[in-house]
A and B are shown apart, each in its own frame.
Chain A
């Protein structure tokens, strides 16, 4: 049973560049959420995708955009990178149709660590 996979695991970019991160959800899951986690902080919700549509969005600027494909995999794009974008980016998968009380049960990938110089 394949878990959540993310790529790349590490990457270094410079200010102003653009980055694309990829995620494949756990087998059987249809919903992908993206989180940003800075050092020493809890995960910050970026957005959530289901049925190829953004369903919810956290307090992140439009430089952060995403996409979900028919196979449920997802991409996170960040444009015009800033130093403050350096963080661990986590993808979490879940089942949209799960009972409401279970929808906080997320399965995380190992993350993509982005360093912006």
Chain B
């Protein structure tokens, strides 16, 4: 079982719609969760971080965390063509040596159609 799983997509939504991106993780002791956006040929950019159960809103972005169900999601309201990118989920956990490590999903490709 992969440690962090995302639907690879592509997820296609019309402009102005809500895009919903999901991520599940396997390590129950994971503490911190991050969403990065990566445009084609560019490097990842942090857009949201969430640490507690519930919702966290930042502009058009809302991150949702449910530790009991081990999933974290990202909602993008009023989607714009400029939101078209790959969205990477990253989960902060601990390895066997109790060292912190960041586990990455493979990313979900989002296409917002004008």
Contacts and interface: CB of A to CB of B under 8 A. Distances in A.
Interface of A: 40-45, 55-56, 88, 90, 100-111
Given A100-B31, A101-B92, A102-B32, A90 B43 contact: yes
Interface string B33-63: 1100000001111100101000000000000
Q: Which of B32, B42, B105, B106 has most A Cβ within 10 Å?
A: B32
A108 B36 CA distance: 11
A112 to B, nearest CB: 10
A23 B31 CA distance: 29
B23 to A, nearest CB: 11
Contacts of A43: 44, 88, 104
9 contacts: A42-B105, A42-B106, A43-B88, A56-B101, A90-B43, A100-B32, A103-B32, A108-B45, A111-B42
A106 B104 contact: no
B107 A104 contact: no
B17 interface: no
A107 B36 CA distance: 10
B44 A103 contact: no
Instruction: Sort A-B residue pairs by CB-CB distance and give the 8 closest, nearest first.
Output: A108-B43, A42-B104, A104-B92, A42-B106, A101-B32, A104-B34, A101-B51, A104-B32
A101 B51 CA distance: 7
Contact of A103 (B42, B45, B88, B92): B92
B90 A104 contact: yes
Contacts, number: 56
B99 interface: yes
B46 A109 contact: no
A56 B99 contact: yes
Contacts of B51: 101
A111 B91 CA distance: 22
A40 B105 CA distance: 11
Contacts of A42: 88, 104-107
A43 B105 CA distance: 8
Contacts of B107: 42
